[in-house]
Amino acid sequence: MVRSIKKILVLSANPINTNKLRLDEEVREIQSALERSRHREEFELISRLAVRIDDLRRALLDHEPQVVHFSGHGDGTDGIALEDNFGYVQLVSTESLSNLFKLFKDTVECVLLNACYSETQAEAIYQHINCVIGMKRAITDKAAIHFSKGFYDTLGAGRSYKDAFDLGCNNIDLNSIPEFLTPKIQIRDNFKTLFFKKQSTTKLIKQKPSQSFTISGGQLSNVQIGGQAGRDMDVTQNQLLAQGNSEKPLIQTDVVELIAQLEELFRNSELPEAQTSKAIKHLEAAKEEVQEKEPDKDFAAKNLQKATKVLKEANEAVTAGTNIWEKVQPIITKLLPWLGVAASFFS
């Protein structure tokens, strides 16, 4: 079967009255990721720098890309920053950007806005494009570049947009940058791949065609995580599920309160300061996600899982890990049904 070339259009703008960004480096890393990939001959990378309004429209018309990547500055609800004829900021509003992509919905598959506070634009564009990625908050140059490297390494391997997103977030995390939850993806066809591939033996999660959902950094909530807890922290999956199912259903405010209780336990524990700070960082990220209007439960679960891993590390060195686990375990048990994960997720 003949495979069609996938065109990736990278647009960047760094107006002279904005902070200097390393956009050239990001483009170079994207190019390097695609050139070294085994599917390199099935991609065409088009790059446009110092993009103005006319450049945006013309590039979409001229190249009909499948992936559109924007690198630069975002200004939240006010839009993204392109350049005017003199090189200064010209904001493109959220509504006009969404309307533009509506006119290219038959060719564009994925839009990536690698700019601060671009989640607002991503949500608007998602009305017309099946896969859109934006940034929930400010993102540093370093994190943005690491995300792009992971994202395009994965596309170059012929994997799905969702996989590319996950590995982009993971690459931020692997490089010890605490911004791995900043990228947010909205996608309708979660298992869409760039190329025709043999059906995976992994059972896919079915979804109704009309549904859509949001994923941000990490794995789906039902993924089983390997490894065993410390000797004094072991508990069977059936025991935890039985306990969890005996509780009345939780609501968001209940979950926020339970996570706050976990934070308090860590703060008052005898764990070393470094481990306490590490756990609290993940708990705060989980609590922040839960407080969203439509919380992403898989990533709240992921951060709670990372916090509990601190206990495993502590249990190997000091008894404090065991002592706090006795108090943490009942709270985690209560959270299991709301999170929609198996007990082994925290083992």
- State how far the Cα of 257 lies from the Cα of 264, in Å rounded to an integer: 11
Strands 131-135 and 67-72, how do they pair? unpaired
**Predicted pLDDT at 297:** 87
**Predicted pLDDT at 219:** 30
**Predicted pLDDT at 305:** 87
**CA angle 85-88-93, nearest 5°?**
90
**Predicted pLDDT at 319:** 53
- pLDDT tens digits, the chain, 347 residues: what are they? 445 789 999 999 999 999 999 999 999 999 999 999 989 999 999 999 999 999 999 999 999 999 999 999 998 888 999 999 999 999 999 999 999 999 999 999 999 999 999 999 999 999 999 999 999 999 999 999 999 999 999 999 999 999 999 999 999 999 999 999 999 999 986 545 554 343 333 333 333 333 333 323 333 233 232 333 321 333 334 443 444 444 568 888 889 889 988 888 888 877 888 888 888 888 988 888 888 878 888 888 888 888 888 777 765 555 554 567 778 888 888 888 888 877 667 76
Cα 341 to Cα 106, 219, 244, 296, distances in angstroms: 37, 11, 11, 13
Beta bridge partners of 46: 9
CB 74 within 8 A of CB 115: yes
**Predicted pLDDT at 11:** 97
CB 251 within 8 A of CB 291: no
- State how far the Cα of 13 lies from the Cα of 23, in Å rounded to an integer: 8
Question: Which 3 state secondary structure label does DSSP give 155?
Answer: helix
- State how far the Cα of 192 lies from the Cα of 45, in Å rounded to an integer: 20
CB 90 within 8 A of CB 84: yes
List the one residue out of 120, 129, 141 whose CA is nearest residue 184.
120
**Predicted pLDDT at 317:** 52
- State how far the Cα of 250 lies from the Cα of 247, in Å rounded to an integer: 8
CB 93 within 8 A of CB 124: no
